[in-house]
Each structure stands twice: as structure tokens, then as C-alpha cells.
Amino acid sequence: MKRLGLAACVLLAACATTKVEVSGSGTGKPLCPADARPLTLVLWTTDWRPDQKDVAERDAAAWQAIQRFFVRSSCKTEIRNAARLPPDAQAFGKVVAITVRAFGIETRVFDGSGKPVAELRTRWQNGGPFVPKGVKTLEQDMIAALEATFY
């Protein structure tokens, strides 16, 4: 009986984990250091696979995650759904461009003059071999990825 309980715990632990990896130039730097908090423009877009299922639901989950993360962050932000830097980008102290993909995000950070200061790739893996992937965990996965990326 004890072996069955142990096996169930190991199986559940293998299925319920979220692993986030961040790489690229500028890793380990907080988005908004405590000593400098200028207004930050956050641009976001998605780039799903051509055969991606539930695109509208995934877009909504990505939007919710970005909103929730930046509302809780120490940054004063304006968030827009856009793939390119807008003409007014120089009015902001920093611009963060996020592209959401199936298993991660790509983030580019620019200073107020439009000079790139960081280019980050964040990948997440939620679950194990017995956990079906879907939209259900996307919002939580993205929040964990954004926290790993910016803190």
C-alpha cells in the first residue's frame, strides 16, 4: 500500500511542475529598478504555429497574463497590442516588446531612444508526459515566465 502511495506522489509531482528557462542578452536585470521607474510601453503580439488550436482563447489568456503581471509589477506601464514600435515610442523611458509563442515568449527591451538593451527568450514546460497541453495553464505559465524574465 505504501508503494502505491509513493508511486502516486511521484507521478503527481512529475505532472504538476512548471519549468521556466530564460536566456539571451540582458538576463537578470529587473525591468523597473527601484531607483528608476519611468513610464514603460509594453507591446505584445502572438505568433502561434499555423496549426495552433484555440487561437482566440490563447490570445485572451496571453492578454490576461500580461495585464495581471504588469498591474502587479513595480512599473508604470501602458500596454498595447502591437508588433512594431509605434511612432511615439520615444515618449517612453523604456519599451518592452513581447511575442508570445506556443511554449514561451521572446522579449526585446529598448531604452527611450529606441536602442536595444536586452533580447530574451523564455521557454516554459508545464507538466509531464501525462499532462495534456492546452489553453488551461497558459495564463499561469506566462505569468511564471514573465516573473522569471523580469525579476
**Residue ranges per structural domain of the chain:** 18-150
Q: How confident is the model at residue 2 (pLDDT cuts 50, 70, 90)?
A: very low
**Residue 134: band (very low, low, confident or very high) from pLDDT cuts 50, 70, 90:** confident
Integer Rg of the chain from CA: 18
CATH number corresponding to 18-150: 3.40.50
Q: Quote the mean pLDDT of the chain.
A: 78
Q: How many angstroms separate the Cα of 85 from the Cα of each of 36, 67, 95, 116, 121?
A: 22, 19, 8, 12, 19
pTM: 0.77
